Amino acid sequence: MHLFLHLLLTVNYETKKWRGITIERGSRITSLSKLADETKLSIKQMRTSLEKLEKTKNVARKRTRKYTHVSICNYNEYQSEGARYRAKEGHGEGTVRAITKEGQERKEERGALKKNFSIPTIAMLKSYCKKRNNSIDYEHFHDYYETSGWKLANGSPMKDWKASIRNWEKRERDNDPEARLPGEAHEVWQKRIYDLRYS
C-alpha cells in the first residue's frame, strides 16, 4: 500500500515527453533503486511490492536495461470527480497546469520567505516601531522571540517579523481601552503608560 500511494502521488498528471519517449498520464519512468530510495524500502521489498501490485492489476510495468516504466492502472479512477469531469470536457490539461503553476508559485514564495528571513536587530525593531508610532516594547519583543528560537506560539518558524509587530500592536490596542482614544489624548495616555512601565 505504501508503494502504491507513493506511485499515485508521483506519476505524471499529464502526458509528457522524456528523451523522445511519450510518458502517458498516470505513468512515470524510474528504477527499482530510485523507488527504493524515495520510499525508504529495500530493493527486495520494492521488487516484492511491485510484483504484488502487478498481480492485483493495480500497476503495469515495462522494464528495459536503462529504466522501468511504471503505470497506474485505471489512473483516472483515483482522481477527484471534478478532475475527471474537466478532463472529459477538454479543460483538464490547461486547468491542471494553471492550478499546479499557481501552487508552485505559492510554494516558492513560502520558501523564499523562509530563506530570506533574518533575525532583526534591536535597532531594526526600534526603527520600525518608531516608524509605526506604536508603544511596543521592542526589546521585550526581541527577547521574547529570541528565547523561543524565533518561533510563533503555534511552533512554526517566524517568516515576517514586521507582521508580528503589527499583531502585537493590534493585541495591545484590543487590550488597552486608552489606546483607542483619538488624537492628542491618545499620545498623552501612551506617554503615561510608558512612564508607568519604565519608571
More confident residue, 190 or 96: 190
Q: Cell 512554526, residue?
A: 156
Q: Which residues pair with 30 in a beta bridge?
A: 68
174-189 burial by CB neighbour count: b if 16+ within 10 A, else e? eeeeebeeeeeeeeeb
2-34 burial by CB neighbour count: b if 16+ within 10 A, else e? ebbebbeeebbbeeeeeeeeebebbbbbbebee
**pLDDT value, residue 74:** 78
Provide mean pLDDT across the span 8-34: 78
| pTM (predicted TM-score) | 0.38
Cell of 155: 511552533
CA dist., res. 190 & res. 195, Å (int): 9
**pLDDT value, residue 1:** 66
Contact predicate 147/139, CB 8 Å: no
Number of residues that this document lists for the chain = 199
More confident residue, 162 or 23: 162
Task: Kindly tell me if the per-residue pLDDT of 150 is higher than 80.
Answer: yes
Provide mean pLDDT across the span 127-147: 90
- pLDDT tens for each residue of 78-113: 776 544 444 444 444 454 455 566 666 666 655 555
21-30, 36-45, 57-66, 102-111: which has the minimum mean pLDDT? 102-111
% of the chain at pLDDT higher than 70: 70
CA dist., res. 54 & res. 48, Å (int): 10
Cell of 138: 521592542
The dihedral region occupied by 61, where left means phi > 0, alpha psi between -120 and 50, and beta the remainder, is: beta
